[in-house]
Every structure is written in C-alpha cells, then in structure tokens.
Amino acid sequence: MIYWQLFLSFIQIGLFSFGGGYAAMPLIQGQVVTLHQWLNMEEFTNLITISQMTPGPIAINSATFVGMKIAGVPGALVATLGCILPACILVTVLAKLYLRYRNLSVLQSVLHSLRPAVVALIAAAGVSILLTAFWGTGAAVTLAGTNWVLVVLFALCVVLLKRFRWNPILVMVLAGVLNLAAGLLRF
C-alpha cells in the first residue's frame, strides 16, 4: 500500500503549500523525512539541491524523486499525480468562479495573513538543512563535531548572494567544487 501512502502524503503537500517554490519545502520535509522517513535529512537536502539546478517546481521534483526512490516509475507517477491533484481541482473551481464573478479581494487578504507564516516555515526548513550540513544527520550540536569547512562555505555563499548578487545556481556549484577541493587538499 506504499502507492496509497505516497499519494496521500503528496496530496497534503499539494494542498497546504501556499505561495509556491520554497513554501512547499517545509511540508515535504515534514511528510517525507519526519513522518515517513522515506529520505533522511541529508538525502532531502540533496533533493532540494537537485531541484534548484533543474527546471520545474520543487514540489513536482520532490514527488517524482521520492516516488522513484520508494516505488519506481509507478511510485513517481502516483506521487506526482497526488501533488497536482488539489491544485487542479481548486484552481479550476476558482478560475470558473473568477470568470463569473471577478472578485478575489477576500482571498487576497487571507493570503496576506498566511505570508508571514510561510516565510517563517521556509526559515525553519533552512535552519534544519544547515544543522544537517554543519553537524550531520541527527548528530549532537557540539563544537568538536562541527564541519568548519561547510560553515566557512556557508558564510562565503551568503556574502556572494547578498553582497555581490551572484546567481544562486552558480553559488551552489562553487560551494560544491570548493568543498571537493578542500577534501582533496587535506589528504
């Protein structure tokens, strides 16, 4: 019944990710890592990285990736279908209502209240990704166990992104290459 579980999980992800893009990330983490343990935190972070570098929404990419990993092509199909089903129904209904009544102000203002929560959840997901990067999956946060190379790379990336407005994909690739270089030089 793995197909049914995949389907249900990704329906929830599709149904509750307001605001697109990164907004789906905390939900995917909740379902895929915390609840069902289909991926560990490290694999999840790799998935987000891959999503960033390939076209397509994070939610669709994740559904395909997790589905493939858990149950092959049928799994990927089921998960992707679950992911877009809520949107198909809701968007079609709303579009129909709009084309008839053309008034969306209530929806817009509800969305206005949801936005701060979505931002907070994105930040929280970012924190758990960084915890995994710096201290490993599920490991204790100690000074001795810290991966200092990654801490330095993180700081560098933030500067490149914020100060010099580098392209995010370029920044991520650079971080990967520098980490490989650091690993090779040490040996």
Partner 1 sequence: MNQRLRLLRKLFLSTLYLSAFTFGGGYVIITLMKQKFVDHYHWIEEEEMLDLVAIAQSTPGAIAVNGAIVIGYKLAGPLGALVAIVGTVLPPFVIISLLSLCYETFQGLYAVQKILEGMQAGVGAVIASVAWDMGRGVVEERDTVSTVILIASFVASCFLEINVVYIILICGVLGVVRTLLEKRRAAK
Which parts of 34-53 interact with partner 1 (CB under 8 A)? 42, 45-46, 48-50, 52-53
Q: Does 111 bind partner 1 (CB under 8 A)?
A: yes
Long-range contacts of 122-127 (CB under 8 A, 24+ apart): 122/22, 122/23, 122/25, 122/26, 124/26, 125/22, 125/25, 125/26, 125/29
Contact with partner 1 (CB under 8 A): which of 4, 73, 139, 145?
Answer: 73
Contact with partner 1 (CB under 8 A): which of 5, 6, 9, 26?
Answer: 26
Chain position carrying tokens 């330095």:
152
Q: Does 148 bind partner 1 (CB under 8 A)?
A: no
Contact with partner 1 (CB under 8 A): which of 37, 101, 102, 140?
Answer: 102
Q: Does 135 bind partner 1 (CB under 8 A)?
A: no
In the complex with partner 1, which residue's Cβ is closer, 4 or 176?
176
Least Å distance, CB 138 to partner 1, is 14
Alpha-carbon distances, residue 6 vs 50, 56, 92, 155 (angstroms): 20, 20, 24, 36
- Residue 61 tokens read as 């990419």
